[in-house]
């Protein structure tokens, strides 16, 4: 077990459809701690940095347009093995393959509108948190076990 943090995005389609609160609630109900939370407009520069690993793929331009086209809700969430836990709650990338009970399995139809992002490793999480949050936008707080969770 490791105390980790992860970047979660309720992407533009989730916010437009009024599902940002539902998505946040799923992570809260797992007992994870919210360290940062904001509604924001993603710039093309932020989107390209965030999805740099996909640059050159046929869907890249559409992906950048999708994430920058309407505001998103960004969050930093902390917990034991939270990266794997959040990815399990989010479900498979293609909603048609996502298990019912996961966010994508319950609310998604297509891979191009799959509602939510979650970091896939500790290194990705640190890189991605820095793209979306300044240090003073993260708020240390007590977690569900009563332990103090630092911002870093």
List the catalytic residues: 117
Q: For residues 37 and 111, which CB has a smaller minimum distance to ligand IDP in the complex?
A: 111
3-class SS string, 115-151: CEEECCCHHHHHHHHHHHCCHHHCCCEECCCCCEECC
Which of 19, 63, 77, 78: binder of ligand IDP (CB under 6 A)? 63
| Distance in Å, CB of 62 to ligand IDP, minimum | 6
Which of 120, 127, 137, 143: binder of ligand IDP (CB under 6 A)? 120
| Distance in Å, CB of 98 to ligand IDP, minimum | 9
Q: β-pairing, 141-142 with 148-149?
A: antiparallel
Q: Which residues bind ligand IDP (CB under 6 A)?
A: 54, 59, 63, 93, 111-112, 114, 117, 120
């Amino acid at each position: 077990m490791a105390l980790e943090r992860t970047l979660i995005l309720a992407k533009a389609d989730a916010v437009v459809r009024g599902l940002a609160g539902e998505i946040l609630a799923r992570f809260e109900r797992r007992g994870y701690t919210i360290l940062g939370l904001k509604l924001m407009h993603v710039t093309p520069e932020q989107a390209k940095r965030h999805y740099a690993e996909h640059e050159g793929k046929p869907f890249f331009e559409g992906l950048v347009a999708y994430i920058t086209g309407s505001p998103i809700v960004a969050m930093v969430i902390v917990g034991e093995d939270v990266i794997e836990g959040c990815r399990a709650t989010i479900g498979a990338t293609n909603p048609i393959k996502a298990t019912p009970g996961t966010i994508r399995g319950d609310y998604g139809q297509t891979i191009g509108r799959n509602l939510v992002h979650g970091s896939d490793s500790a290194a990705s999480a640190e890189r991605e948190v820095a793209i979306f949050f300044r240090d003073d936008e993260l708020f240390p707080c007590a977690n569900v076990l009563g332990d103090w969770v630092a911002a870093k």
